[in-house]
Every structure is written in structure tokens, then in C-alpha cells.
Amino acid sequence: MSRWPLVVGFFLLSSRLDADVWDNGAISDNDAGTRNELLHGTLQDHDLGALPGPVPDEDWYRIHQGALSSYEIVVDSTSADVGSGQGPALERIASDQTTVVQGSVPAGAGASRSLRWESFAPGAVDNQYLRVRSAGCTLTCDPQDVYRIRAYDTTYSIARLNNSATQATVLVLGNPTDQPVAGHVHYWGSAGSLIASQSFSAPPRGVAVLNTVGSAPGQSGSMTVSNDGCYGCLVGKAVAVEASTGFTFDTSMLARPAPSHGPVPGPVPGVAVQAQLLLNEVNPNIAGSVDLVELRVTATGTTNGITLVQNPAPGSGGSALLATLPGVQVAAGDLIVVHLNAPMGVITETTSQTQCGVPECYPGAWDFVGGTTGITFSDRVLALEAPGGALMDAVPFASTTVDQADYPANVQFIQAMGQWLPTDCGGQPCTYMSTPNVNDPLISAIWTGVSTTTVGISIQHAPGPDNNMSADWSLAPGTWGLPNP
């Protein structure tokens, strides 16, 4: 008798054990009897290999839902077979273990899935389940048909609410994503009792401003924010205004910290990691609008879909898409020079920093061809946006000559998004009438004095960390494709 069937069977069983230990215990995760519970920050790897029979594998999870809270479950790092390009089915199941309370939506452009919801119940909910099953291979899935699941508590907290005496609190919620976010602000007294809840809706790349006095008059305590957005998709702060003096007191809105799991296992085949970039050097005044923008890579990954924009505030005048970056794998420390209205012969380098051989390219950097719109050389905000619209970096540049009606709103926007300091101008929104005013060197990076040629003066970010302040920037002879001095 041949020993090969036994060897092959042992190999498959070993692979199965390594891939998904939750399928192999006396109490498995294959039905509502599961004891596998997802908590905030949980990260697990599973497979959907068919069970003996064959029977399709279903992975079930328990989850505790706190009162007036919100959650997101993400399934990603999927193999192709489990969803035929759409990813596996990720669902929230009712206590009857049958009714689908909610299905998931795409988390990106591929097979990743996201399930987000608010638990608006006045008490904890512990009798619902999460279920993941293949939307593709089912009976033919094997242990190589894998996915990763992550859980997040998306409830935000603000430690200070003060509508007592002469103070009034305004809550500013920013949504830097390209999807609307709705939710509720919950006002809690200093002893922890619920005062009231107030709904809000923040449009894509927009801001929701709530005067808390109407819902919590004369009250002090704290606030929480539940929502249907992804983890970390909102930014915000509470501003307590002292009416008698005009002084303001800011309290940042905080997401619940996610536990660190160390480096994410990988790289996972077929799953690209997004690079992180900073604005590093700019010249908006080159003759013929052949403007240059240099970017510095702060985290290794792909540049695919990152955009360079002018005036990022929603609905702003003077807004322009300057460039959409190609999918190039870059490393931390690399430089990228974006050529706007690129001269003839300049090409986008995708495999080597020396692909472009014309003098206008820079051998010490990746040269990318941008759009045909140059930068407006006046008071303007330049920003980098990740795919989906989240701000990656933003800088307000001013010429101190002619006021631009749309500039203050854009500066206020990036301040609200946590991308620029100070967060206001002397306790007031930054305008041309505030003290200091919006184009004061204390607030804006002043680019008056840049040259009209590529070999002259540019405005540059200092080497080292990004402090999101005008002091990071100064005029100096251009160093395109080389580290700034």
C-alpha cells in the first residue's frame, strides 16, 4: 500500500492547523457557539478552507457593544478566491443567529470590506454576532483562501464641556474623507450621567459645527462622539469661548488608541502599502508656469493615487488638482519632484530615478509629470491628499501682497484638520483682520522672493521633523533632488 495518501493528508491537515486555529478546537468558530470575541484593536488571521463534507467554512465572532458607541470591523488581505474581486461576505447577525442586521461595504477599490455602525442602545449589547464567509469559492476553498480581520471602537472622546457661567462650548468636527459621516454627540455631566444627545452630519471633506449650548445649557462635563465613519476618519476639537474676554480654550477630540501589534505581517502579496509624503520644496513663480514641487518620503510604500491640490477646503475658490501621482514604490528618505506644465522630454520615472535623461530632470529624485495647471502665486494652501481624500500634509503659503478671499477659509480648514499650527489667530479664526492676520509670518509660510527660474530661490522645508508651522519654511537657493540644508 502506498504511503503517499497519508503523507498528503498530513500535509493538508498541518496547513489547516497553522492557518486557522479557531476551526480546530472542541468549540470552534464555525457557528454561534463561538467563544472568539473581537475587542478594540484585535487583529487575527483566518482562512475559509472548506470543512469536511465538504461544507463551506463560516467564521463567527462575538462582540461587546457599549452604550451610545460606534464600531468598525475591517476584513482585508484577502485571497482572490474568497470573493471574486469583491471580497468575502462580512455581516452583523441578530441574536436569533439568522437575521442579517447589516452587511458590509467596500473598504477600498478592491476586495477589502468594512462594516461600520452606531450602537444607539442605552445599555450594552452582547447578543449579536459577526460572520465572515466566502462569496466565491465556498465548497472549493482551501487553507490558502485567507483574510485578516480587525476590530475598532470608533467612539471619540472630548474631555471638556463647559457651558456654565460665562463660557460657551462650540464643537468643530472635520471630515477629511470623500464619504459623508453622520453620528451623534453625547453630552455627559461631571458625575457621568447622560445629559443629552445631538445628531450631526459632516459632508465629504467638510466640517460640522455644533453649538453645544442648545443641547446642554448651563452644563459642564465631557462629550463622546459615535459615528458611522471609519476608525480615525474624523478630526475635531471643542472650543470654549469666554464671552467677557474673548479668550478661547481648545480641547482636542481623541480617538481611542489602537494597541500596537508590531509590524504588520507581510508584506502581504497583492496588498500595497501607501507611502507617506511631505511637501519639501516649492517654487510657484517659474516663468511659463513650469512650477516645481518637491516631496519628501517619510514612510516606504506606493505613491499610487496620492494627489497634490491647491486650496483643499470643500467648495473653495481657487481650488485645483495639480497632480495625481502614479503607482511607484518609493522608500523613506526618497525625494520626488513634481513637474507642472512639464517641459518637453520630461517623463514620469517608474523604475529608476535616472530614467529621465533631459537636463530638466533631477537624478537624485523621482521625477513625476504633473498636470498642466501651474500654482497661483498669491496666498494659497497646497496640500497632499491620500486616496479617498484624507489630508496627508498641508501648508499655507502667502505673498503678503494682495488679499485672496478664499485663503482664510483654507487656512482655517487645515487648522481644523490638525494639519497646521497655531490652531487660530490670537484666539479668533484666522482672517485678514485678525491679530495676527492670516498672512502674517507667524501663521503662513511667506514665499515672496522666490525666483522665476529653476536655479534660483525657492521656499524649502527644514530638514528633520515636520512641526506643521511656518517656522519650518524659509527661502533659500533651490536644492531640487537633493536634501534641503
Q: Break the chain down into helix, strand, coil percent, rounded to 5.
A: 10, 40, 55
What is the Cα–Cα distance from 387 to 305, expressed in whole angstroms? 5
> Given this model, what pLDDT does residue 280 score?
98
What is the grid cell recorded at 465?
521633523
Reported confidence tier of residue 82, pLDDT bands at 50, 70, 90: confident
- Ranges 27-36, 80-89, 279-288: which has the least confidence: 80-89
Reported confidence tier of residue 430, pLDDT bands at 50, 70, 90: very high
The alpha carbon of residue 421 and the mean position of all alpha carbons in its chain are separated, in whole angstroms, by 19
What is the grid cell recorded at 449?
522672493
What is the Cα–Cα distance from 181 to 10, expressed in whole angstroms? 50
Averaged over 438-442, what is the pLDDT?
A: 95
- Ranges 77-86, 104-113, 245-254, 284-293: which has the least confidence: 77-86
The total number of residues written for the chain in this structure: 485
Helix (H, G, I), strand (E, B) or coil at 150: strand
* Domains contained in the chain, CATH given: 15-153 (2.60.120.380), 156-255 (2.60.290), 276-477 (2.60.40.1260)
What is the Cα–Cα distance from 128 to 152, expressed in whole angstroms? 16
What is the Cα–Cα distance from 297 to 390, expressed in whole angstroms? 17
Averaged over 106-125, what is the pLDDT?
A: 88
pLDDT at 13 over 70: no
Helix (H, G, I), strand (E, B) or coil at 266: coil
What is the Cα–Cα distance from 233 to 253, expressed in whole angstroms? 12
Peptide linkage before 267 cis (omega within 30 of 0): yes
**What are the b/e assignments for 226-255, b being 16+ CB within 10 Å?**
bbbbbbbbbbbbbbbbeeeeeebeebebeb
Q: Where are the alpha helices (DSSP H) in 107-180?
A: none
pLDDT at 299 over 70: yes
Tens-digit pLDDT profile for residues 209-232: 999 999 999 999 999 999 999 998
> For the chain, what percent of residues have pLDDT higher than 90?
63
> Given this model, what pLDDT does residue 262 score?
52
> Given this model, what pLDDT does residue 473 score?
97
pLDDT at 356 over 80: yes
> Given this model, what pLDDT does residue 138 score?
82
Reported confidence tier of residue 9, pLDDT bands at 50, 70, 90: very low
Q: Tell me the pLDDT of the chain averaged across its residues.
A: 88
pTM of the model: 0.55
> Given this model, what pLDDT does residue 270 score?
47
DSSP-assigned states of every residue in 23-56: GSSSS-SSSTT---EE-TT-EEEEE-PPBTTTB-
> Given this model, what pLDDT does residue 316 score?
84
What is the Cα–Cα distance from 114 to 446, expressed in whole angstroms? 42
Closest listed residue to residue 446, CA positions, set 410, 413, 472? 472
Reported confidence tier of residue 314, pLDDT bands at 50, 70, 90: confident
pLDDT at 108 over 70: yes
**Which residue type, as a one-letter code, is found at position 175?**
N
Instruction: Fill in the DSSP letter of residue 475.
Output: E
pLDDT at 27 over 80: no
Reported confidence tier of residue 10, pLDDT bands at 50, 70, 90: very low
What is the Cα–Cα distance from 232 to 246, expressed in whole angstroms? 31
> Given this model, what pLDDT does residue 329 score?
92
Tens-digit pLDDT profile for residues 116-138: 999 988 899 999 999 999 888 88
pLDDT at 462 over 50: yes
**Which residue type, as a one-letter code, is found at position 283?**
N
pLDDT at 424 over 60: yes
**What are the b/e assignments for 187-211, b being 16+ CB within 10 Å?**
bbeeeeeebeebebebeebbbbebe
What is the grid cell recorded at 363?
537624478
pLDDT at 455 over 60: yes
What is the Cα–Cα distance from 51 to 59, expressed in whole angstroms? 11
